[in-house]
Amino acid sequence: MDEMKEKLFYQPKNGYDLIDAKERLALEDYCRRYMAWLDASRTEREAVSQAIKLAEAAGFRPLDPAAGAIGPGQKVYWNNRGKGLLLAVGGKKPMAEGMVVQAAHVDSPRLDLKQRPLFEDSELGYLRTHYYGGVKKYQWTAIPLELHGVVALKDGSTVDVVIGREPSDPQLTVTDLLPHLAADQMQKTMAKGVEGEKLCILAGSVPYAGEGSDRVKLALMSILNDRYGITEADFISAELEAVPAFDVRELGLDRSMIGAYGQDDRVCAFAELAAILETDAPERTAVCILADKEEIGSVGVSGMRSQDFEWFVEKLCGGTCTAQDCFSNSFCVSADVTAALDPMYPEVSEKQNAARLNYGVGFCKYTGSRGKSGANDAPAELVAKLRRICDEAGVVWQMCELGKVDQGGGGTVAGFMADRDIDTIDAGVPVLSMHAPFEVTSKLDCYMTYKCMKAAYEAK
Ligand code: MN
Ligand code: MN
């Protein structure tokens, strides 16, 4: 009977029962590289600039829009306003026969400074924020924060800001009530316990010498002016993001996991980046997308709905075919994280179809919510193709669904790729504590996602 079961049943296995000692070394080596990149990539802009560094070192050059169709083995990239990145390696087949596209996003939930952030109350200085993406607001209080971003000046120049990353730097925080005085707060729902307008960052306390009002605010503005040459009006044209000041760390007594901010979706972004940097002569042109703005609906010029992608592909085609001809023969892996089964909260998952830590890269045929609404429902034929590619390459993978039916749901860039007439499937790393300031992944799943991306680029 066991033989019959072995033959007829589908039984996913824990990845650690499937890999050998050699692969464990490769896994550790890959995760070290991922962790180093993630540690230096705390915003979408930093992720893009760090990715460009690696790409340049691997022989990629900025796309020359006038150069004509991409040639076999040619490696180019396009920096979309410092916030999105498109990379390509020319295939042996012409663009008309389609590309293998992999699309991840490099923006993550965070606290953005408002355009007029600075104020003083009771002789303490604060920065007002408007959160970005889906956050549980209470998680963003009472943790160390650092500030990253740019201030664009009227003269056309920009000033890079990083405060709190260096050990010698000061850090920031949003305060929370002490339990002794939180009786009323604790009666509220978790959604209302900490309100958005209360997510103000404590920024300083020493008054400027002399008489008058707003002396702490003045002292803080004076510090920023000394360090960055900016005035209060310059915040108006700034993008400053407060992000958790946690280092990227190995997690667990057995070091089997990674704990870090921003793994959704930089963990998949690095997987496809690492894969394309090692791709030299693919059959079909390989394209790697690091998109911005996924967490707020893939909007804007740097989001996946932007025509920037059409423009890029048109240049790769160089007049040999239309971008649309190319799209219809392409396939895309929408590389985004998925929810891992959390044994502390099993009630939100349906165990048979939930992703598990260490079971490898998770394929999602569909995401969405309430009857798959808003999902890209990947064609069965494409799911079969990815099964074959991964099985042939020894990738540990699992089929999964984001949460129980009617429990909630989510989306990725997959729908926007499919809108372009590109066959698209979601595949990515299962995450615990997704969207929290400190997210958890398994090293094995990170590595297998990279291996999946590499196999997809190399597929015939
Ligand atoms: Mn994501
Ligand atoms: Mn997300």
Give residue 208 CA to ligand 1 midpoint distance, Å: 43
**Angle at alpha carbon of residue 124, lines to 122 and 129, rounded to 5°:** 110
Give residue 262 CA to ligand 2 midpoint distance, Å: 9
User: Relative to the alpha carbon of 103, which ligand is closest?
Assistant: 1
Give residue 264 CA to ligand 1 midpoint distance, Å: 5
Give residue 108 CA to ligand 2 midpoint distance, Å: 7
Cα separation, 449 vs 90, in Å, equals 22
Cα separation, 116 vs 232, in Å, equals 8
Give residue 338 CA to ligand 2 midpoint distance, Å: 9
Give residue 291 CA to ligand 1 midpoint distance, Å: 10
Give the pLDDT score at 367. 85
Give the pLDDT score at 68. 96
Cα separation, 26 vs 450, in Å, equals 11
Give residue 270 CA to ligand 1 midpoint distance, Å: 13
Give residue 161 CA to ligand 2 midpoint distance, Å: 25
Give residue 266 CA to ligand 1 midpoint distance, Å: 8
How many CB atoms are located within 10 Å of the residue 346 CB? 12
User: Relative to the alpha carbon of 105, which ligand is closest?
Assistant: 1
Give residue 439 CA to ligand 2 midpoint distance, Å: 11
Give residue 176 CA to ligand 1 midpoint distance, Å: 28
Give residue 265 CA to ligand 2 midpoint distance, Å: 7
Residue type, 271: A
For 410, the token pair is 């989510």
User: Relative to the alpha carbon of 429, which ligand is closest?
Assistant: 1
User: Relative to the alpha carbon of 135, which ligand is closest?
Assistant: 2
User: Relative to the alpha carbon of 428, which ligand is closest?
Assistant: 1
Beta-strand relationship, 124-132 and 201-204: antiparallel
Cα separation, 428 vs 264, in Å, equals 10
Cα separation, 273 vs 420, in Å, equals 22
Give the pLDDT score at 406. 87
Cα separation, 382 vs 397, in Å, equals 15
Give residue 39 CA to ligand 1 midpoint distance, Å: 18
Q: What is the side-by-side order of every strand in the sheet holding 439-442?
A: 249-251, 257-260, 439-442
Give residue 52 CA to ligand 1 midpoint distance, Å: 21
Give residue 59 CA to ligand 1 midpoint distance, Å: 28
Give residue 295 CA to ligand 2 midpoint distance, Å: 5
Give residue 36 CA to ligand 1 midpoint distance, Å: 20
Give the pLDDT score at 410. 84
Nearest to 205 by CA among 169, 234, 172, 240: 172
- Paired with 100 in beta bridges are 286, 331
Q: What is the pTM of this model?
A: 0.97
Cα separation, 445 vs 299, in Å, equals 29
Give the pLDDT score at 12. 94
User: Relative to the alpha carbon of 106, which ligand is closest?
Assistant: 1
Give residue 411 CA to ligand 2 midpoint distance, Å: 8
125-154 burial code (b ≥16 CB/10 A, e <16): bbbbbeebbebebbbbbebebbbbbbbebe
How many CB atoms are located within 10 Å of the residue 315 CB? 22
Helix axes 263-277, 44-57, angle to 10 degrees: 10
* Domains of the chain with CATH codes: 2-108+261-458 (3.40.630.10), 110-244 (2.30.250.10)
Give residue 435 CA to ligand 2 midpoint distance, Å: 6
Give residue 218 CA to ligand 2 midpoint distance, Å: 37
Give the pLDDT score at 409. 83
Give the pLDDT score at 375. 83
Nearest to 171 by CA among 85, 242, 86, 225: 242
**Angle at alpha carbon of residue 34, lines to 98 and 74, rounded to 5°:** 35
Mean pLDDT by 10 residues, the chain (460 residues): 93 96 98 98 98 98 97 98 98 98 98 98 98 98 98 97 96 98 97 97 97 97 97 98 98 98 98 98 97 97 97 98 98 97 96 97 90 88 96 97 88 94 97 98 98 95
Give residue 413 CA to ligand 1 midpoint distance, Å: 8
Give residue 377 CA to ligand 1 midpoint distance, Å: 17
Residue type, 276: I
